[in-house]
């Protein structure tokens, strides 16, 4: 690994694993029927739902509590929210598992840095399931529900630096969300936004790795 890059960090959703494109898409995948003529949530409802989601993503409430609290803001029943959450992951992108395996064999230090939940984490760790990612291959695993913080909070990036024992300049980071990338750059990380629209993030990641001198 080049001396100036000491850790390669991946977001998970829309970088290594496909996820639904929002609540409506997840409801479609889960077979949850939305009420006909249901209006789009207003700003207050969206903010309230996001506040509950932040509690869930940082491990402060469990799935059932999240579902019960967020359901009224989304016009759903709590059991529908649970079904939707369990259908939100769509499986690893082609080549994602192979990339993590290759980096591991090459001795490249890696990590994930993801806003996720205990339910989705469990699904990605399940070797027998369709959502499996070899997260055990990673040197570090930083997940919001385990750390108690979420991107793009400055404290989340500082936590990674302390836990890995690295200066910001030694970290290479991939994420699909502009705000997360910009927050990492403000810390001094070498951060790149991955575009999930072409449905081919792994070739994008490999190209950047090569440009940074990491070949696997």
What is residue 81's three-state secondary structure?
helix
Do 71 and 108 belong to one domain? no
Do 46 and 96 belong to one domain? no
Domain endpoint, select from 33, 64, 85: 85
Q: Is residue 216 part of a domain?
A: no
Cα dist. 70→28, 92, 143, 144, 170 in Å? Answer: 18, 27, 21, 19, 39
Give the model's pLDDT for residue 42.
78
pLDDT per position as a tens digit, 41-60: 778 888 888 999 999 999 99
Do 207 and 129 belong to one domain? yes
The structure tokens listed for 180 are 């997360």
Sign of the torsion formed by the C-alpha atoms of 16, 187, 208 and 6:
negative
Q: What is the CATH number of the domain that holds 104?
A: 3.40.50.1000
Do 121 and 203 belong to one domain? yes
Q: Is residue 131 part of a domain?
A: yes
Q: Is residue 176 part of a domain?
A: yes
Q: Which domain holds residue 143?
A: 7-19+90-211
Do 63 and 168 belong to one domain? no
Do 133 and 153 belong to one domain? yes
Give the model's pLDDT for residue 118.
97
Cα dist. 91→56, 58, 71, 95, 131 in Å? Answer: 22, 23, 25, 11, 4
Q: Is residue 191 part of a domain?
A: yes
Q: Is residue 1 part of a domain?
A: no
**Angle ∠(64,14,93) on CA atoms, nearest 5:** 105
- Distance (Å, rounded) from C-alpha 157 to C-alpha 191? 12
Q: Is residue 106 part of a domain?
A: yes
pLDDT under 70: residue ranges of the chain: 1-3, 37-39
Do 189 and 150 belong to one domain? yes
Do 141 and 46 belong to one domain? no
Do 94 and 163 belong to one domain? yes
Give the model's pLDDT for residue 168.
97
Do 68 and 132 belong to one domain? no
Do 81 and 95 belong to one domain? no
Domain endpoint, select from 67, 85, 103: 85
Q: In the chain, how many domains are there?
A: 2
Do 105 and 187 belong to one domain? yes
């Amino acid at each position: 690994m080049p001396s100036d890059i000491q850790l390669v960090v991946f977001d998970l959703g829309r970088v290594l694993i496909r996820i639904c494109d929002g609540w409506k898409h997840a409801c479609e995948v889960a077979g949850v029927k939305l009420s006909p003529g249901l209006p789009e949530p207003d700003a207050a409802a969206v903010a309230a739902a996001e506040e509950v989601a932040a509690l869930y993503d940082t491990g402060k409430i469990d799935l059932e509590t999240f579902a019960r609290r967020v359901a009224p803001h989304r016009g759903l029943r709590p059991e529908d929210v649970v079904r939707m959450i369990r259908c939100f992951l769509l499986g690893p992108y082609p080549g994602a598992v192979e990339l993590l395996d290759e980096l591991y064999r090459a001795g490249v230090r890696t990590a994930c840095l993801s806003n996720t939940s205990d339910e989705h984490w469990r699904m990605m760790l399940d070797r027998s399931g369709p959502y499996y990612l070899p997260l055990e291959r990673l040197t570090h695993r930083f997940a919001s529900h385990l750390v108690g913080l979420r991107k793009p909070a400055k404290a989340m990036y500082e936590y990674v630096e302390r836990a890995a024992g690295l200066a910001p300049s030694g970290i290479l980071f991939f994420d699909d969300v502009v705000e997360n990338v910009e927050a990492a750059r403000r810390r001094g990380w070498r951060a790149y936004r991955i575009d999930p629209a072409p449905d081919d993030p792994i070739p994008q990641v490999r190209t950047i790795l090569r440009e940074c001198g990491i070949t696997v």
